[in-house]
Each structure stands twice: as C-alpha cells, then as structure tokens.
Structure 1
C-alpha cells in the first residue's frame, strides 16, 4: 500500500548518500520501521507482540548458537553435556535457562499475537497472506520446539519423542515408514538425536526467513487497527518512528522483566522434573506429558478413544493436525465485512467461549486420563471444531454489527472526548462536544 504523504529517505551525510546509492539498505530500514512507514494512530499494546515475537526469536538464536558449541549429540553423553553446560561453562546455567524458558516465552507471545488477530480480524481481506504466513510460522515454531525438547535426553524428552513420533505410525500404508525415517531407526536413539539437533539448529533461520516474508506481506496493505477501518488520509496515521518504536521499547522492557523473573527465580517452573532423570528406554514415566504449549493439541489427540471406521489413534492424529490447519481457512470461514470484535458483540462472546475452551483443553492435556477428564476433553474438542466450522460461519452471516466510525481519526477523537470530523461538518465547522 502506497501512502502519498509518507516521508521519503533523503540521506544528508555524504557517506550515507554514497552507501544508499550503492546499497539502499538505509532507505529500506527507514521505509520499513522508520518515519517513512506510516501506521494507524490508534494501535494499542496488543500490537507490541509482533515485535516481542521477533525479539524472542533473536534470543533463541543467540543462546542456541552458544549452547550448540557445548552440546553433544551422542545418545550416551547428551544428558551429561547438558549438565556440564549448567555446571562447567561460564554462565552456562544462564544460557540454558534463558533458552529453555525463552521457548515458553516465545510461544506465549505467539499465542497472544494469534489471539489479537482473531479478535481484531487481522486475517480478513486484504491481509489474508499475512495471516497464512503467520500460521506457517506457528507450525515451524511448534516443530522446532518439539525437537528442542528432545535434546536434553531426559526421561520426558525420550518418551515424548517415542509417543509423538509413534502417532505417525497410525497413518495407513506409509505411517510406519515415515516414523522410521524420522527417527532413523525403530526407536529414539543416537540417529534420532542427531537428526533432531540438526533440524532444531536449522529451523530458526527458516522461521526468520518466513518472518521477513510475513513483514513484507504486512507492508503492502499496511497494519490493521482496533477499529478495523482502513486508513483514509494522513490524519489517520503517525510515523512508526518515534511513536511506535517508543511504545514497542516499553513493551519489550516489561517482557524482559517477566522473562528475567523466570530465569532467576523460577527457572524450572514450566519444565517437568522427570527431565532431570537420564533417558531410560526400560523405565516408562508414570504420566507422559508434553510442554504446556502443546497441551491443548495433546488433549484433542487423546480425546478419540473408540474405533469408528478408522482406528481411534488415526482419528486423534487427524484431529490434532486439523485443529491447526483450520486456521489456514479462517479468512474464508468468517465472511463478516466487519473486522474488529469491538463492533461484533455476538462474535465477541463466542471468542470468549473459545478462549475458555482452549484453557480447558490445556488442563485436560496435562491431567491424568480419568473417565471424567476424557469426557471433558471430548466435549472441549467438539466445541473447538464447532466454533470454526459451524458457529463462526453462522454468526458472520447473521450477526448485526454495531456502526463503524467513518475513520480512525473520528474513532480516536470520539474516545478521547474531542470533536470528530463528522460532528464538525454537521455543525458547519463549529466546534461541538463529542457524544
């Protein structure tokens, strides 16, 4: 999207002019995140989470590179190498805890980022490609996180790899071959550890590449905003720098304080104690659970207990992957012309119900599989799919949204108690108080 009122980069210093003429990197940065990139003036703090996700990825890459220098991919020494990092490497404990807790912080930020997109309709035209690339990034992050969880080679790492890769064997004809190909054998061992380490090291750079495409796709239509109304003129926007760089800087400071709290005070709060026991193929943990960010999908996987046409295990695998793939079709499942849930009261209530449903699935995924828990998981799984496949299309077709403001500026001035352009026009240019 081209903004005719956007400032254009004009280097003043002779050195910067020489560089820009030969490699227009300064111009690119200026137009991407500087005063040359106008953004809606009403963005709230939920728009910080894209920057926080990028910062989380950088933390994971930097700490991961240093940890890889000391990690052993041999199945006999992998666990000991991690303990050696904690005890013998200078600041090794800090790097290990920053990387382990950084994965949880990264996924927490991504989940909030997705939730913001659902609430404010950021998947609607013309931003479908931004959303689709975001879902691809989410899938890549989940795959990277799973492979990273295997690397400490503790009990939960080993048995998590055994259970999760075992689900591929449910696929007819090719399932067992895929599982053997993934593991490099018939059970998690040195070959699997080497493969997972290689992919875990590579994937963050692939994620960074897709993030560049994600940001590029975002800059074409411009950012969405809490009203869901498109930018109409210069009054609707402010330069990204210094307004949103300052706002993002404050959000990053709060994020790092919370992150530091986990690292220095509760570094193992989000982990599992069994992972401090070396992997033992002959001793199965009493209760195998994945990391917290996989729990809702794990609950959907466990909810299928009866063979019907296909084995229950296959139904669970298809449902687990389907629960994520549904997000790809969201721009076409929600046909409402209104983006923001601020103006869609019925849709907003169902979004709250979806949030509660996902939290229930998270609880079920981490709980022991008792009869009542399994039933609760089945009901929550059924609602998850009903929300996207049935409720959302019906609500978007039948709901009567509240009236939208004429422009972003009007919405901002009305909220602040000022005078909107529409009111000024109605009163012949005379100032009148906002309703």
Structure 2
C-alpha cells in the first residue's frame, strides 16, 4: 500500500497524536488499510427516502462496503461517485460494479454476493468478472493471502471476513459463553417474541463481568469501525458509560423491526443473509432491482481518495446529494469546515446531505462556520424519521440537511 494512502488515513483519524489516544488512533488508521466492512451498516432504504433520487441527480458518497452505492444506482441517478480511504473497500466496490455489468444473470449475481460462500464463485469470477476488472482491483483480489487467492473469500463465507466479520465472530463467542443460541430469534414471528428473547437471553449478557470489562476499552469497538473520538461520543450518551448505549442499540436491532425484514439482524446474529425466498436483502441484491442496477452500473465510480479532495475538483453547483456516513464523527473542526466549504460550493439549490452520528446529537452547530451552515436547513422531521427507521440500529442519529442556495 502506498505511503499516501496511509497518510490520508492518518489525517482522517488522528486527532490527538501525542498521547495514549493518539496511539489508539494510529492503530485504528492502520486497520483501515484492509477490509473493514464486507457489508455497509447504514440502511440504504432510509438513505434513498431522504435523498429523493431523480434521473438528474449527481450523488457523492463514502463507499464502505458499497451496498449504498449500488443501491443508489438501482434508483437511476445521473451518476454516483463513491470515495473511500481503504484500498480494500475500493477494490470491493469495483468488484461489485463489474459483476453487476458482466455476470450472466441475477442468479449468478445473488450467488456471488448474496450467498458468497459457494465453490463455484471462483469460476464466476474467472469467466465473467476478471476479464473486465481494472488492473489494481484485479491485483488485489488475485493476491495470495497467504495461500489462496483473496477472491476465494467468496467461496468460504465473505461476510465472516474483514474487521467487522471478525468482531461479530467474537460476539458469537461471548454469546456461547453465556449459553445463547440465536436460532429462536431468527425463527421469531412477532416483535413480542423478539422482545422476549432479548429480555431473557441478551439483556443478562450486559451484566457479565467479561462484557462490562471489554466495553470499557476504547479499542474494543474498533471492529465496528468506531475510532476513539466516536467511542467518546457514544459514551457521552450514557453519561460516560458506553455499556447502556450498546445495550439499547442491540435491543433496537433485535426488537424494533420484524426479523424477517431486517437483513442487518441476520448478518449480526446468523452472519449471513436469510436464505428463504422472501428473506430481506439490501436493495442492490433484490431481484426486482437487478435490471435497473445492470443498466445504471456504468454511472458509478469509486476512487481511493478523501471526499474533500474529490469535491475540490468538482464544478460549482454540480451535485445534488451527499452521503457522509459517520465520517464527520472522526473529524476535527478544521477538517469539518473544509468539507462543508466544498459541499456548499458544489451543491445545487435543493441539494441534500445525509449523515449518521455515533451520539444522538447533530454535531454541526457550533463547529461549522455560521456563514456556511446558515445556507442549509436542518430537516428535523425527516431526521427523526430516519433515525427511527434505520434498521442497522448502530447509530444514535440520522441527519438530513437541505441546501437553500
């Protein structure tokens, strides 16, 4: 990996480089050189309702696992530009874009990314994807890691990989120590059954000494992609204790949405998607969206750069939608203002910005310059709706701003 990539990651994450927090931040930035998120953990359905995507819209997003980028493309915008500082995330996004355009049919696409654990996926890659993949991404997926090609993860359970996949594996280990079997939760037919499972089986886990001890370490949540600065925002919602915040967000994930309609819960508690014919899937993996995704996939691109730098090269008033995920939680005031200067310059009237926060509060007032932020209107009603309806349940707040011009 190039020095410039590491430098960009350090710039994005490092805020207090001269003491213990700085050491944790440097460790976190190095973890992002590899795959962190095999699946994105922001709900694209909530995003698309807030973005109100039209064929004239040019969108910019942070890629992560790229489920969002492909889902937006299925809605038929003019373009989607995705950015990510992790080279592994860029390679994953390009793999998905290429597969959407060149795999023979929906069945092959679903097998590769929906199942992601079949031996025949190697043949699909070699025959239909590899010939059309860009050289850097091809080098990434065909590298030996250490004995097999990296692409073989799609034969062996891709969603168990990456930093998040390993974190969820550790969660399942702790659950087994607490004698918890998630099968009854996955078979539940009512929200009441899901709530009863949480109350009886999961809530007691948060009283375990091991769980309470681990939750006290800021590095314990690196597997969720939560750096020290964001950990502190989570803990602030619990009056300095992150454990009650985590307990409530696990409860929301388990109990607030029917398990048959929440693919985030399936990934967390089964480590795969629901295999039943009516099982919940991300929008880009749903069969009725495949034709549109294939038609519009050429309008997507993903680059290994910082979002502020990419926007600096865009013309004035050229963008209609911005998806920032939770990246602003990582930023200091200087970085935050540089980003919003470019967003405001490139936004057309009526443009929308959406983002998540680890804590519940909107982090922009008091940090972004008033002369910039006053050109935007915060949509309180839509933000509250998005917070309530985001099935991933990992964030404290969903936020929507509209540009007044």
Q: What TM-score, normalized by structure 1, do the two folds share?
A: 0.25
Select the structure that is richer in helix: 1
Give the alignment's TM-score, normalised by structure 2. Answer: 0.27
Q: Max radius of gyration: which structure?
A: 1
User: Higher strand share goes to which structure?
Assistant: 2
